[in-house]
Structures are given as structure tokens and as C-alpha cells.
Amino acid sequence: MREVAIHDTLSGSVRRLEPREPPRVGIYACGPTVYDRIHVGNARPYVVFSLLKRFLTRLGYDVRLVINITDINDKIYEAARRAGVASTELATEMTRHYIADTDRLGLGRPDAEPRASETINHIVALIDELVRQGHAYVVDGDVYFRVRSFADYGKLSNRSLEEMEQGEGDDAARRKEAPQDFALWKARKPDEDTWWPSPWGEGRPGWHIECSAMAEALLGLEFEIHGGGSDLIFPHHENEIAQTEAARHRPLARIWMHNGMVELGDEKMAKSVGNIRRLHEVLDRFGREALLMYFVGGHYRQPLRFSEELLAEAQRAAERVRELGRRLDPDGPELPGADALVERFDAALAHDFNTPKARAVVFEWVGELNRRLDAGERLGPGRLRDLLWVFGLDSLLAGDTAVTADGEAQALLEERERARRERDFARADALRARLRELGWEVRDTPTGPQLVRR
């Protein structure tokens, strides 16, 4: 199996991916806070980590991708009050929009999409352990993490303690032992319409503890990759590291992988700034293939400038591949020299997931096919389709249809989808493994899951 290396923010170096239980790889990426419809910047981590899963799967790794949904947060309470609706109603509505909008990317769903509201028991147990060990303290129903009790605090963001105030407001500042301490549990306030019981009184969890609990519950400790936007390095991921390691005395994840921001103008795309382009609107105008082509055109760690000109350029690039697909013979021979192109594509992605370099290999293949077709040769797509699948762009090749599966495989696929709907992910994983044994790969497409011969 090919060796893969990813840039690790914690060590500041490109590190080899070393699965705990080869070939299994767990990836946790921080998902959206559902108080509004997501924008293109929110979609970037969803795309980056979905494509990373596809690439690792192509190499033979057994990947479990978890992207959470934050449905308990100050921003949700505030947005719900402005809209005059219940916070749970707003969170439910925006979760539906988020799933519908990201479905349109055609990359399939993550293997698990935990909600903070469904993980309260695990969250409370983790906080309770921190209190028991002296890493957290209670003030009138609020629970705060005692930052000075964790000697390694700041090792992810490389900031001094004086630079790491949490910005939780004047009231919280007066209640905390130190400005750097952060909330694990927040006591119920009169204007908050949703709360849960706890040993410290009615209230709700803080944002950071939610992700620590959800990641541990679904992937265990020391899983392979924890991902998210670079804007989460501090305070969110710094705090995740501190609270998990303080409670468990083991790392939460082995590699901390961060994608750069999508920028509109001179600032990152953000609802708080007001410079956003909503995902569903961009998809309506440019289509999923253009947006994915745009995303893979930039290295995941770098900022990515957003403009309609760049989307139009990506649209033209996608159309170039689509036009090639119309010229190819589905049963024609593969391009001579394809082995070298496949090797270069895989090598580019295996070293810190360099999608621009891999995309260049794809277009080198496209260019050579067009030259040979112009010269009168008969050629087929061959493994070019497999490389495009990694990018979610295999739909650009005409005639890209799944092979009809036998009755047993189809029944297993239907049973797997039923298990996923019922959130029985262990059963779903077992069924997927059984399908692999039978020679079938599950491929999630915009029209639903398909079985493709391995």
C-alpha cells in the first residue's frame, strides 16, 4: 500500500500517515454551526476531506469519515431570537438545508454526521472527568477548563498564554479564574429556550467540548486525522487538544490537518463579515463540476480566492473534459503510457494532498487523448475515469455508468443504506466490507449509491 504523508499543524511538518489498525483510517472534520445556510467557504472542508477519503479509498485504505453538525451554539440562540423561532426549529431547518446543499456536490455523505444535541451524555461524562481531575471548576452552574492545569496549552497555535484570551464576554471574564479559561458547560440563561440537565444544573455544553466528545465517541483516541479550517486552530482545536489530553492522558488525533480559507476581496469569506456567496446559489449558477474543479485547482493548505471569473474558468475546464468524453469510445483501448500518468497523479496526492499538481496530470492526459483522437486513433477513457472519480468529476465522461450488480450484492447495498439511515454505522461498515469481499466498491453519486466492480 502506498505511503501517504500529510502536513501536521501540531508538529509543523509533513508526517507519514500511520494507521492505528491498518488499513483503517479515521478522519474527523469540524462541520458547520447550523444557524444559516452554508457558503462556499464552509463547503471547502467538506470537499477537501471527502476527496481525501476518496483518494485513500482508491489506495486501499478503509476510511471512516466523520463530519459533525454543531446544533448547540450561541449563534443559533441569537439567530433564532432574531427570527422569532425556537432554536431547535432553526437548527433543524438549517441542518436540512446543509444536507441538501452538500448533497448537490455529488460526493456522498460522510460515514457519520453526529449532532451535538445527540451526544450530551458523552459530553457531560467528559466534563465530569475534567472536574474530577482538577482540570475544570464550577462557578454558579458554569464549568470552566482551567488552562494553567495543562502545561502544553498553546502547542498547536504556538501562542503565548497572554495572547490566548477566549473572548467570552465581560460577564464570563469576571467569573473565571483566568482570562484564558474557557467554558465547558454554560448554565441556563433566561432567554435560552433549550437546555439539558447536568450535575451542575440545567444548561448546555460549550462549543469546544462538543467536538472532543463526538470525535472520541465515534473514532476513539489517537485516530488518524483531525481536520478543519485554519480559522479553527485557535481557540477551537487548541481547546480540543487540551481538554481531551487532560482528561484521557492520550492524544485525540495523530495528525491535525487544516485547510486554508476561501477569500472574497481582502478577507476570508464569513457571515460575520458579510462577504459570502451561499453554496446553493453558486451551484445554481455554475454547477457542481465547476465548483469541484475550482476547489481542486488550489492546494488545500493555501487561501483560495473566490471570484466569478475563477468559477467561469473552472467551468470551461470541466467542459473540456466533458467534450473529450463525447469523443471517446467507451470500449476503446487505454492511452499508451497511462501507467506513468497514474503514478504521477497518485504521487502528487500522496504527498500532502497536492490536488493542483494532480489536476495538471489529468489535463496532460486529456490533452494527449485529444491529440491522438485528432490523429484518428480509437481510444477509451481507461483509468482516467478512476482519477476523475477521486475529484468527484467522473460524471464528466460520457457513458460513465455503474455495472449491474447481482442480486446478493444489490441486497447488501440496500441493507447498508438502511443501516446508514438508522445511524447503525458499525453495521453499515460491516456490510461495505462484505461487498468488498464480493468484489464490489460502493460509490456514492448524486443519484444515490452505486456498485462498481473493484
One domain for residues 188 and 322? no
- Domain membership of residue 342 (yes or no) is yes
Q: For residue 383, what are the CA distances in angstroms to 11, 57, 178, 332, 424?
A: 36, 15, 58, 12, 34
- Give the CATH number for residue 254: 3.40.50.620
pLDDT above 70 (res 118)? yes
One domain for residues 95 and 72? yes
Say what the pLDDT of residue 72 is: 97
One domain for residues 425 and 384? no
- Which amino acid is present at 123? I
Cα–Cα distance measured from residue 402 to residue 450, given in angstroms and rounded to the nearest whole number? 6
pLDDT above 50 (res 401)? no
Number of domains the chain is built from:
3
**How, if at all, do strands 62-67 and 253-259 pair?**
unpaired
Per-residue model confidence as pLDDT tens digits over 122-165: 999 999 999 999 999 999 999 999 999 999 999 999 988 877 77
Say what the pLDDT of residue 166 is: 75
One domain for residues 371 and 412? no
The whole-model pTM stands at: 0.87
One domain for residues 25 and 146? yes
Per-residue model confidence as pLDDT tens digits over 268-293: 888 777 788 999 999 999 999 999 99
**φ/ψ of residue 383, rounded to 5:** -80, -5
Q: For residue 335, what are the CA distances in angstroms to 320, 329, 362?
A: 18, 12, 12
Structural contact between residues 9 and 254, judged by C-beta atoms closer than 8 angstroms = no
Q: Is 373 helix (H, G, I), strand (E, B) or coil?
A: helix
Number of Cβ within 10 Å of residue 419's Cβ equals 18
One domain for residues 28 and 146? yes
- Domain membership of residue 2 (yes or no) is no
Domain with 93 in it: 20-268
Q: How confident is the model at residue 119 (pLDDT cuts 50, 70, 90)?
A: very high
Cα–Cα distance measured from residue 255 to residue 156, given in angstroms and rounded to the nearest whole number? 11
- Domain membership of residue 190 (yes or no) is yes
- Domain membership of residue 54 (yes or no) is yes
One domain for residues 167 and 208? yes
Say what the pLDDT of residue 402 is: 44
Preceding omega of 333 cis (within 30 degrees of 0)? no
Q: How confident is the model at residue 400 (pLDDT cuts 50, 70, 90)?
A: very low
Among 238, 268, 298, give the residue marking a domain's end: 268
Find the mean pLDDT for residues 91-108: 96
One domain for residues 42 and 181? yes
One domain for residues 225 and 354? no
- Give the CATH number for residue 354: 1.20.120.640
One domain for residues 82 and 168? yes
Q: How many CA atoms lie within 13 A of 107 on its CB side?
A: 28
Q: Which residue has the higher pLDDT, 266 or 316?
A: 316
Per-residue model confidence as pLDDT tens digits over 204-240: 999 999 999 999 999 999 999 999 999 999 999 999 9
One domain for residues 422 and 353? no
One domain for residues 390 and 415? no
- Domain membership of residue 112 (yes or no) is yes
